[in-house]
Amino acid sequence: MPNDHDPLPAYLTAWQLANPQLLTQTNTSRIYTATHDSQPVILKLLAAGEVDEQRGALALHHFAGHGAVHLLRADAGAQLLEYASGDELITLVERGADTEATRMIAQVIGQLHSVPQDSPPAGLMPLDRWFADLFTRAAVDQQTNVDSIYVRGAALTRRLLATPRDIRVLHGDIHHRNIRQSARGWLAFDPKGIVGERTYDCANTLCNPPIPELVHNETRLLATAAILADALELDVWRVLAFTYAYACLNASWWLRLGGDDIVQWSLKVATIIEPHLA
């Protein structure tokens, strides 16, 4: 595909698309709605050198529509996706159906993980590399003899990764805004393309949605973990442990990027969970 200054016209021609409408723009892509054979689709034009989105395409290809939108076409510069045109799952929470939303998330995760794992695609990121920023942050604190939550989070993460259970291709970013209603039911999109213990796919859910009276409510957090563990036949302790690990990782990411609000949000989740991991 030619790498023109604006690649949109070339993709419209090559992939026989019409009626492009800019939906949103992110750090990694420009996202359009379009039509193909009179059917609505999503066209995602990737930023130059974007690798996270490439891993996401590998994961979507692997999921093959099981709990996720179909990847219709892809190359190094763009992806053509099934359009899940309905509401985001967060709308259930906003209507007071938080427990129902959690059960829907468990259902989606179960579908994603139901795909046979005989030969996961090359190019996915293993969990030990995914947690690199947390390990780096912890190492800095250890050098100055600081017993921080990052040090404790990194130590727990290493123990979890040393005893993996049920390795799967993971979505890696399952939460209420990455699942939408479609004609085929609730479908996930925007995966990170990770491979590791399937329990990890519960972690981001427990740090969402961005409603503090829910996420930072200890009773609700523990109940949500129990719902996910029961529905997916997981060890609830490991659900909480991976959520603690992810919260520390997310804080370490945003500590480096300068997002203090997200750092504090994530560390509060970790602080709530930590006593339950004793």
- Catalytically active residues are 173
Q: Are 261 and 251 in contact (CB under 8 A)?
A: no
Q: Are 45 and 29 in contact (CB under 8 A)?
A: yes
Distance CA 69, CA 190 (A): 9
Distance CA 186, CA 178 (A): 10
User: Nearest 5°: CA angle at 266, between 261 and 268?
Assistant: 95
In terms of Cα–Cα distance, which of 222, 230, 223, 172 is closest to 202? 172
- Residue 134 tokens read as 């947390």
Judging by DSSP bridges, how do beta strands 194-197 and 125-126 pair with one another? Answer: parallel
Q: Are 78 and 4 in contact (CB under 8 A)?
A: no
Mutual orientation of helices 218-232 and 260-273 as an angle, nearest 10°?
A: 70
β-sheet bridge partners, residue 126: 195
Q: Is the dihedral of CA 42, 11, 66, 118 positive or negative?
A: negative
Amino acid of residue 131: F
Q: Is the dihedral of CA 132, 138, 144, 145 positive or negative?
A: negative
